[in-house]
A and B are shown apart, each in its own frame.
Chain A
Amino acid sequence: MPAFRVEIRVMPRGGILDPQGQAVTHALHALGFADVTGARVGKHLVLTVDAANSGAAGQQAKAMCDRLLANPVTEDYLVAVEPA
């Protein structure tokens, strides 16, 4: 089976206060980047997955997110698949 590079972006769910994002915004303002009006901080995971095709790799990644990699109560995720 071919290998796929699966990138997963996990972000704090909209509406939930993201204190890390706020701290980053404040720090950027302090450095003079006054045009920054918001920042959110999440996680980026990169997996290498063997699968029949990219669709199957994406489905596996979704199942992984639902069970372990993201908390559905507090986080949203996005999956992107490309050939390894």
Chain B
Amino acid sequence: MGVDRRKFLKLAGITALGTAAAPAAKVLAKEDLDFTVSEKLLHFFAKPEGFLPGEALTATRWAMVVNVRSLDHEIAEACREACHKVHNVPHIENPKHEIKWIWEEEYHNALPNQEHEFVDEKIKDLPFLVLCNHCYEPPCVRVCPTRATFKRETDGIVIMDMHRCIGCRFCMAACPFGARSFNWVDPRKYLPEDEQNMEYPTRMPGVVEKCNFCAERLAEGQIPRCVEVAQELSKEKGREPALVFGDLDDPDSEVRNLLRSRYSLRRKPALGTNPNVYYIV
């Protein structure tokens, strides 16, 4: 039995319609999508619901400039206090157990081998705010056996993964700046409940900690707490900002402009760790 031309054309038409309709139906029925939608395209399908982070501050090489002549003990102390408060850093009197992320140092300790006997007396009294230098070549990262401390590839911040730290303290031996503290005692004993920042964790005994350049604040679009406080207070006192934060890889950033216009020093440059914290004296 032969198929006549009329029947053949009908069948061909229906088949063509069917093959065209199948993928269209698939797209229309959203559940059947068998590819994952990239985050950037998500808004085509549905408006994202829920948490939207603030515009994060990003850079490829974060750095800080400390303008020491704008500092005084009051500003330095305010910076230390503000930093330690947001990061739940306990205040422990015993110097063997103390934890510090940012603190005051004297000139000859902050910039050793760069002092001489005829330096201006005023400079000797200035509070040098010191913190983790977030070195470009961090020795702490090289020695960490668990890679608990690592340099973030994206922005150069040297950061700690507290979940991985086994408390071996190699990093403390490796750091030439003493920027790391070990939790010999339970830090919560020294953190009264009403002084805890509930949005940030504490630490447990047996881990090392240090400044994280406020990575958690940068993610929400805020500059580091110490810089914020120092700039407020410097403004009140009518001085140049005592702390400046920015991206070294951006030639127009505030830090690069400062480093271009003023002469700056770094701590222990001969060790080759390449600190990202600069001092204008």
Binding between chains A and B: no
